[in-house]
Structure 1
Amino acid sequence: MDIGELIRELRTSHGWSQGRLADEINAVHGTTLTREYIARWERGKVRPSGFYLAALSGVLDVPLAVLEDPMMRRTFLTDVAGTAIAPVVASDLLARGFAARLTGGPSEDAWEATLAAYGTDYMSLGAADIQRRLAGDLVVVQQQLDTPRLWSAAARLMTLYAKTVPGSDGNAAVRWYRMAATAADRSGDEGVRVWVRGRAAIALGYEGAALGVADALAGQALALSERPSLGRLNAVYGLAHAAALRGDRATALALDEQGRRLFDAVGSHEQTSDYAVPWWRLNVFRSLLLARLGDERAAIDAQDQALAELPASLPRFATHLELHRGLMLARAGDRAGGIAHATTAMDALPPEKHSLTLRMLMDEITA
């Protein structure tokens, strides 16, 4: 199947014009695409470059491999055309949204309880399971945005939803992170404003995705408040990972040192929530950071520290650590060994517990 035909099919399935697709790409990447250029892609006059294939992957919510591989394109469209669940899901979401508007929806305290439950569930459930539930709750909460506290709840839900959005380079999530930051601003809660931006920064930095956005959101978080907080800690490590991926070793190590001092002031006793950063999770951040910097001894020490306290109920994070070891092997020159080690770790984790972040780490290792 021709790439232009697939772009046209995906654009149409979103209900977008050629101009709207150009606008979506421009909004995320700061480019100046026009409707005419999209039309040239679709007519096969011009083939999108690697940069624009990645951009299309993000805004159209389709794996990059599908855009690159002719056989996968056809299979993907066949699978999409064969599903009948979308209208049912849409109907349910619409009904829940209108019901919330008509009845008032859950209370502010109920939303806080829901957020706490999501914080725990995110650590152990797969992205698909979380995403379906989050979509329904986002439809409901958007009908209730009448108070600062509800804007706060919405901002945190949107941040978590961004973590479940598909896209091989993170750009599909960027819109959600930006909307979450705006929603947090509407709450007027400084802590939430910092946390949303910091959480987005560490997510993008850890995944190696949209590093410019990670830098910007982390910078905003740090500028909002100098008070030690988990949001600030996340922002620091988001910047550290971005620096490491750019090859700026000195900056990455300086930020790691800053982050460790910050952790001493704000580290969590809570072990199994996405809103917490306990000792083991700090060392998951550091393990990948040091693996990217090629500091094998320090990376292994961080991995051992993480494993010593990692709850047995969170096997996905043990898989993260194994992928970090695979990355170290690949960076040391044993690419086949690194890929094999990482693949074995992924195969040992039940597929329903896989996350988009793990898949992106696999891409980094194979690259």
Structure 2
Amino acid sequence: MAIGDLIRDLRRARGLSQGGLADAVNDAYRTTLTREYVSKWERNKVAPTRVYLARLSSVLDVPLAVLEGEVNRRRFLTDVAATAIAPVVASDLLTTGFAARLQGGPSTDLWEEKLATYGTDYMSLGANDIQRRVAGELVVVQQQLDQPRLWSVASRLMTLYAKTFPGSDGSKAVGWYRMAAQAADESGDVDARVWVRGRAAIALGYEGASLGVADMLADQAMAISKRPSLGLLNAIMGKAHTAAIRGDHDSARRLLTEGRRVFDVAASYEQTSDYAVPYWRMNVFTSLLAARLGDEKTAVDAQDAARRELPPELPRFATHLEMHRGLMLARSGDKHGGAQYAQTALNQLPPEKHSLTLRMLMDEIKA
């Protein structure tokens, strides 16, 4: 079976157009793939390079060995497509949604357990894996929004879903962050209202994307409640990053001091959840902020502190720290050396562990 025929069949199984497949690759890898080029692949006019095969493997959720021909492609499609690679297509989503409405759906406690699992999985899985799973959950939970607590669940799922899109894409990530904030308001849960806004602010501020939205959501979180919490901490640190990127170093340093004060009260003991900010993660936030400020001593101290407690099962965050060093080199004047250092660190991380945030950080270093 020719590679072009396989790409076409996998794309159709996902319910994607040729342009949709190109967009999915571009969203995940910050590339400029076009519909026309996908068409050339599918007509076997041009063969994808190994780099693009790896990217298609991730986006289409198939083993790279299948795309490279090491596994019989036709047998793979015939024997496995209905289970291993079948996407949550429209008909499945509709069935799931109506079934949830008719049967009542998961209990609130079960939803909280699901959120805890997603919070852990997010730290180690790729954006595409999380995105597909959370999309299905959102279809289910929207059938149960007659309870305020489930608006809180929905708001946190929306925030996680938003994180799977590049923050610079206002039509996707920012739109979901705004909707998550509205959903949290429907819940009447102060902690949820602060948390979803703070999480959005640190996500956008760390990525250096949509800074106006990051500031707005951070300001809203800080106005809702001054009580020390992880949501407030995220909001403060997100606003610190936007200030640093804009060149307002005094405000960034003041916010870092405030963030440390809140962290001292609200820090997490849990180590590996997106809903937690333990010591090592606070130092990852600080490391990048200090690198952006040109404060080498603070950055290096934060990097060393983070490495001492960083769980070994989270290599992506170790890559973040190395790339922060690349940013420091670039900002000190060694632009080529900084970019090369960061790119080497990124290349050492398996492609399936790459994240949208890492790719945006690489763009910032090169710029």
Gaps of 5+ in 2: 1-15, 45-59, 61-80
Q: Which whole-Å CA distance do the structure 1 matches of 2:42 and 2:231 have between them?
A: 38
Amino acid at match of 2:37: T
Rate the CA distance shift 1:62–1:317 in 2: closer, same or farther, 3 A: closer
**Structure 2 counterpart of 1:74, from 30, 36, 42:** 36
Structure 1: distance between partners of 2:304 and 2:28: 36
Unaligned runs of 5+ in 1: 1-9, 15-56
Matched, 1:233 2:195: no
Counterpart check, 1:151 vs 2:151: yes
Give the conservation status (yes or no) of the 8 Å contact 2:123–2:314. yes
8 Å contact 1:194–1:222 — kept in the other structure?
yes
Counterparts of 1:221 and 1:339, CA distance in 2: 35
Counterpart residue number, 2:223? 223
Secondary structure class of the residue paired with 1:143: helix
Give runs of aligned pairs for residues 96-107 of structure 1, distance below 5 A.
Answer: 96-107=96-107
Contact kept in structure 2, 1:194 and 1:221, CA below 8 Å = yes
CA contact (8 A) 2:326 2:339 kept: yes
Equivalent pair of 1:64/1:168 in contact (CA under 8 Å): no
Query: Which residue in the other structure is 1:20 paired with?
Result: none
CA contact (8 A) 2:18 2:39 kept: no
* Alignment partner, residue 341 of structure 1: 341
Aligned to 2:117: 117
- Distance (Å, rounded) in 2 between the aligned partners of 1:332 and 1:80: 46
- The C-alpha deviation readout for 1:273-300, integer Å capped at 9, x for no partner, is 1111011000000000000011111101
**Alpha-carbon shift at residue 200 of structure 1 (Å):** 0.4
C-alpha deviations, 1:241-294, integer Å up to 9, x for none?
000000000000000011111111111111111111011000000000000011
**Residue correspondence of structure 1 range 271-286 to structure 2 within 5 A:** 271-286=271-286
Query: 2:4 aligns to what?
Result: none
Moved more, 350-359 or 286-295: 350-359
Q: How much does 1:172 deviate? A: 2.4
| Corresponding letter in the other structure for 1:232 | L
Q: 1:183 to 1:126 in 2, by over 3 A?
A: same
Q: Is the 1:197–1:231 Cα contact (8 Å) retained in structure 2? A: yes
Indicate the RMSD between aligned Cα atoms, in angstroms: 2.6
Q: CA deviation at 1:205?
A: 0.3
- Classify the secondary structure of the residue corresponding to 2:89: helix
Query: How many angstroms does 1:196 deviate by?
Result: 0.5
Structure 2 counterpart of 1:331, one-letter code = R
Please name the residue that 1:19 is paired with. Answer: none
Offset of residue 326 of structure 1 = 0.9
Contact 1:214 1:238 (8 Å CA) reproduced: yes
Report how far residue 65 of structure 1 moved.
Answer: 4.3
Whole-angstrom CA distance in 1 between matches of 2:261 and 2:138: 36
Answering whether residue 195 of structure 2 is matched by residue 195 of structure 1, we say yes
CA deviations 1:19-47 (Å, max 9, x no partner) are xxxxxxxxxxxxxxxxxxxxxxxxxxxxx
Cα distance 1:11–1:351, how it changes in 2: closer, same or farther (>3 A)? closer
Per the alignment, residue 310 of structure 2 pairs with: 310
- In 1, Cα distance between the equivalents of 2:287 and 2:116? 27
Change (3 A) 1:101 1:171: same
What is the 5 A alignment of 1:290-305?
A: 290-305=290-305
* Counterpart secondary structure, 1:93: helix
User: 1:124 Cα deviation (Å)?
Assistant: 1.0
Supply the distance in 2 between the matched residues of 1:171 and 1:158 (Cα, whole angstroms). 14
Calculate the TM-score normalised by the size of structure 2: 0.79
- Give matches, 1:8-157, under 5 Å: 65-66=31-32, 72=34, 74-76=36-38, 89-157=89-157
Cα deviation, residue 11, structure 1: 11
Contact 1:233 1:259 in 2 (8 A): yes
Post-superposition offset of 1:150: 0.5
Query: Partner of 1:308: helix, strand, or coil?
Result: helix
Contact 1:171/1:209 (<8 A) preserved: no
SS class of match (1:124): coil
> Could you tell me which residue of structure 2 aligns to residue 324 of structure 1?
324
2:220 is equivalent to residue 212 of structure 1 = no
Partner amino acid, structure 1, of 2:99: A
- The whole-number CA distance in structure 1 between the counterparts of 2:248 and 2:110 is 45
Q: C-alpha distance in 1, partners of 2:285/2:42?
A: 36
**Displacement of 1:166 after TM fit?**
4.0
Seen in structure 2, the aligned counterparts of structure 1 residues 81 and 279 have a Cα distance that, compared at 3 Å, is: farther
Instruction: Tell me, in whole angstroms, the C-alpha distance in 2 between the residues paired with 1:221 and 1:257.
Output: 18
Change (3 A) 1:122 1:247: same
| One-letter amino acid of the counterpart of residue 253, structure 1 | R
* Aligned-pair CA distance for 1:89: 2.1
CA separation in 1, counterparts of 2:349 and 2:223?
A: 39
Aligned identity (percent) is 69
Verify the 8 A CA contact 2:339 2:365 in the aligned structure 1. yes
* Alpha-carbon offset, residue 74 of structure 1: 2.9
Alpha-carbon separation, structure 1, partners of 2:363 and 2:228: 34
